[in-house]
Amino acid sequence: MFDTTAVTKAPFPVLYEDNHLLVVDKPPQLVTMGAPAGTASLIEQARDYIRRKYEKPGKVYLGIVSRLDAPVSGALVIARTSKAASRLTEQFRLGTVVKKYWALVEEVPQPPGGRWVDWLMHHDRHRKVLAVEAERAGAKRAELSYRLLDPLGGYQCLEIQLQTGRKHQIRVQLSARGLPIVGDRKYESQRPFPAGIALHSRQLGFAHPVGGEWLEFLVDPPSSWPVLRA
């Protein structure tokens, strides 16, 4: 795995960079893309970083192939060419990308490890995603696996691996089982969290879209997270 301690002059930690890719550690409370005018977003900050570093005139191409919700932190890959974007998108579609997250919840899940399959649907009026019956028109299948890790700061820490990539998937599937992520008021948490919510993109692995070599990144949670108990 790559050492993720080095931070460039970018406004976020850069984990890996070449002519095809930019892999970053997204801070919590930063929108990935699509922010209202005048609001900071990761994609615009990344464009400005590339423009300044390489003295590129005009518009800089960057392709977001997988988003993190604004309150979520951690590893995120951005394509620097359309070829890389297309090939990375295909890897995500085929499910060959390794995506592991850490989430803090208050209760121990039962059982402490396993697999969850739900059907999710966006609720426009409430602006949130709901777990619904499988036969509901428009519902999409969501699957993840999870295991219980050591406690963090008095909370239960889950490692979650996504098999699908639905909007708000982890947040909804946990909340549907009475395990809302700490700080996630949108999905029923009553506990505050210092920055964003206690969901972090811990590990990201994929084949380089041009060279083909396997790249894997392991990223510690931000300083707002509690310290791992010995």
Q: Is the pLDDT of residue 3 over 80?
A: no
pLDDT at 8: 44
pLDDT at 85: 98
**Token pair for 169:** 């998937």
Residue % of the chain over a pLDDT of 90: 80
pLDDT at 228: 55
Q: Is the pLDDT of residue 4 over 60?
A: no
Q: Which of 16-20, 35-39, 117-121 is predicted with the least confidence, judged by mean pLDDT? A: 35-39
For β-strands 128-132 and 199-207, DSSP reports them as: unpaired
When computed from its CA atoms, the radius of gyration of the chain, rounded to whole angstroms, is 18
Collapsing DSSP to helix, strand or coil, 124 comes out as coil
Question: What pTM did the predictor assign?
Answer: 0.91
Q: Which of 3, 18, 25, 69 is catalytic?
A: 69
Q: Taking all residues of the chain, what is their mean pLDDT, rounded to a whole number? A: 92
User: Is 69 among the residues known to form the active site?
Assistant: yes
Q: Is the pLDDT of residue 229 over 80?
A: no
CA nearest neighbour of 100 among 154, 170, 31, 42: 170
